[in-house]
Structure 1
Amino acid sequence: MKRVMLIAVLLIWPMVASADAFSDAAGRYRVLPSSRIHFSVAQMGGAAVAGEFKRFKGSFQLDGRDVSRSKVDFTLEPASVSAVDPRVEEFIRSEPVFNAAKYPVVTFRSTSVKRTGDNTASIDGRLTAKGVTRPTRFSVAFGGRSGGTLKFHVTGKMSRALFGMDVGAPVYSNVVVLDMMLVGARQ
C-alpha cells in the first residue's frame, strides 16, 4: 500500500521513443487527482482484499538530458482508503495496519531512476509508512502524453512485514501488489 507512493515516483519517467521527444517532456510536474492508486492483497481460500487510495499528492522533476537525475516525491493518506466493505476500510486505517490516526501520511522519495527500455524505467526510493523507512522499487511504463500532461502505469510489490503490518498472516499474503495509473501536469 505504501508502495503506492512509490508509484508517483515512477511518474517522473517519461519513456519517449526519441531523444528530442524526451527532451521536450523535461520539466516539473504535479500528480493530478484523476490518477488511480489500486492495491490488492491475496487471501488464502478467497478473493483478494482490494481497494484504492483517494487522497494523495506528488510531484516529479524530469531531467530531459539525464533521466537518472530525475526526482520523485509522493505522499499518500492511508485514511483515504476505499474498499468494497467499510469494515475492510476501517481495518486498513487501524493501528495493526497503517495506524492512520498516528501516522496520517505515507511518503516516497526517489533515490535513483534508471531507464530500462524505450518506454520503461525503474525507480528506487525510500518509502516511509507507520514510522518505518525502507528501500522500495517500482516499475514504470510510459502511457503517453497530451499537451502538458504525461501518463504512467506504475507497478510494484511491497512486504507488509517490513513495515510492521503483517497482521493476519498467513491467511492474508504478506505481499501487497500496487497497480497505479498516474497522470502528471506540467507546472
Structure 2
Amino acid sequence: MRWKAAGASAFLFAALVAEPGLGAPAPDLQAAAGTYRVTSASRIGFSIGQVGGGGIQGTFGNFSGTFRIDGGNIGRSTVQFTIYPQSVVTRERRMEDFLRSSAVFHAEKFPTVTFRSTAVRQTASDQAIVEGLLTARGTTRPETFNVRLTGWNRSSIAFEVTGSLYRSRYGMDVGTPVYSNVVRFDMDIRGRRN
C-alpha cells in the first residue's frame, strides 16, 4: 500500500484540528517549535472507494505517537506514529471483523502499523510534506503525507494530515477491483507539549 501525499502531509503529523483553547492558527511552523505527544483527541480516518458507490469509511480508536518540530530547521523535525489495527471502527461489525482478519490487517499476528519520518520539507509557513517509512503486515514501504498546522498555543497543537497509499503494497489487496486499491487518509492530529 502506498501512502501518497493527497493534500496536506506521515505519519504523520496526522490531521490536527484546533481543540478548544488552542487559539488562532500559528503563523508558521517555526513558532510552534517543540516536542509533542499525540493525544486521544486526535481522529485517524480512512476511506476506500467501491465500484458503484458506497465504499468503506472508518477510524482507528487506538494510536500513539510523538513529533518534534525543529524551529531552527524544519527539515530536522521528526514524526513517529503507531496505529493499532485491532481498534478499527466502521459502520458494520462484520466489516470490522473482516479488516482485523488475516485477509487484511491480520491484527493478531501484526498488532501495529507504524510510521517513522525520514524527511520533512516545509512547503509554506504552516505546511510541510512528511516522508517516511510505513510498516504494515511486516512490510515496510516509503510513504508521504501532507501536513497543515491548524492551531497551537503554549501547551497544545493541531494539524490536518492527509495522504493516500496503495494497499496492495502491503498484501491487503483483497476485494480489488470492486474495492479501490487506494486508501485515503484524513487525519485530525492533536498534540500536547511534553
- Say whether the fold is shared (TM-score over 0.5): yes
Deviations 1:155-175 (A, max 9, x none): 000001000000000000000
**Equivalent-residue separation in structure 1 for 2:15 and 2:90 (angstroms):** 24
Deviations 1:84-113 (A, max 9, x none): 100110111011110000000000000000
AA matched with 2:12: A
Mind listing any 5+ residue stretches in structure 2 that lack a counterpart?
A: 4-9, 17-24
**Equivalent-residue separation in structure 1 for 2:188 and 2:140 (angstroms):** 24
- Aligned pairs for 1:1-187 (under 5 A) are 6-9=10-13, 16-17=26-27, 22-187=29-194
Higher relative contact order, chain-length normalized (CA < 8 Å, sep 6+): 2
Displacement after TM superposition at 1:118 (Å): 1.9
**Equivalent-residue separation in structure 1 for 2:184 and 2:151 (angstroms):** 23
Distance 1:77 1:37, change over 3 A: same
Say if 1:158 and 1:175, in contact at 8 Å, map to a contact too.
yes
**Equivalent-residue separation in structure 2 for 1:97 and 1:135 (angstroms):** 19
Mind listing any 5+ residue stretches in structure 1 that lack a counterpart?
A: none
Output the TM-score relative to the length of structure 2.
0.87
How many corresponding residue pairs?
180
The percentage of aligned residue pairs carrying the same residue is 45
Partner of 1:8, secondary structure, is: coil
**Equivalent-residue separation in structure 1 for 2:15 and 2:44 (angstroms):** 12
Distance 1:72 1:112, change over 3 A: same
**Equivalent-residue separation in structure 2 for 1:2 and 1:52 (angstroms):** 18
Say if 2:12 and 2:80, in contact at 8 Å, map to a contact too.
yes
Displacement after TM superposition at 1:61 (Å): 1.0
Deviations 1:24-50 (A, max 9, x none): 422110000010000000001131211
| Structure (1 or 2) with the greater helix fraction | 1
